[in-house]
Amino acid sequence: MKRAMVTGGCGFLGSSIVRLLLERGVEVSVMALPNEPLDNLAGLDVEIQRGNVLDLEACRRAVSGIDTLFHAAAVYKSFMPDPRPMYEVNLRGTFNMLEAARRAEVERTIYTASIVSLGRPAPGRLGDESSAYEAWDVEMHYSRSKYHSREVAEGFSAWGMDVRVVCPGAVLGPGDIAPTP
């Protein structure tokens, strides 16, 4: 049986990933912060591993023995008086999870970036990951942090890891237990 780890699995998007994996017969574990509520995982057959993506050793324990890592943990806020915690989690946390996966020889990592990490295409053209990022002149710390963390993930891919990056737009649907900040 395949084994997967989901970071951010207690959140709306992450718990949706967990449900899909369980429906497909995958054995799932979730890395959750020490005091993080598990409401979105109620009634699901998942292993909970308490830890923090900022702790490399916790990341190494979390990915031990898995086939696939779904890294969806992130700080998402429209405004933060001090954006440093967002950059810490979104960048260093991404580096730690991917480094732990690399050391553990995890077969595949799926990293959840964001549509705001992509650049805007020229008028009349479709945008993709090669579109130039242009939000340097605005105070959009979330998009900047996701842009840089996407670069981290792409760097691991360039080193030979099987890393897939997804860039969802607005994530909406049933089961969202908290309003998007």
Residue 13 pLDDT = 93
pLDDT in tens, 39-80: 999 999 999 999 999 999 999 999 999 999 999 999 988 778
Domains of the chain: 3-166 (3.40.50.720)
d(CA 94, CA 91): 5
pLDDT in tens, 98-152: 999 999 999 999 999 887 777 776 778 776 766 665 655 556 888 888 988 999 9
Record the tokens describing residue 150, joined without a space.
């996407």
Residue 138 pLDDT = 58
pTM of the model: 0.90
User: Mind giving me the DSSP string for 102-162?
Assistant: HHTT-SEEEEE--GGGSPPPPTTS---TTSPP-GGGS--HHHHHHHHHHHHHHHHHHTT--
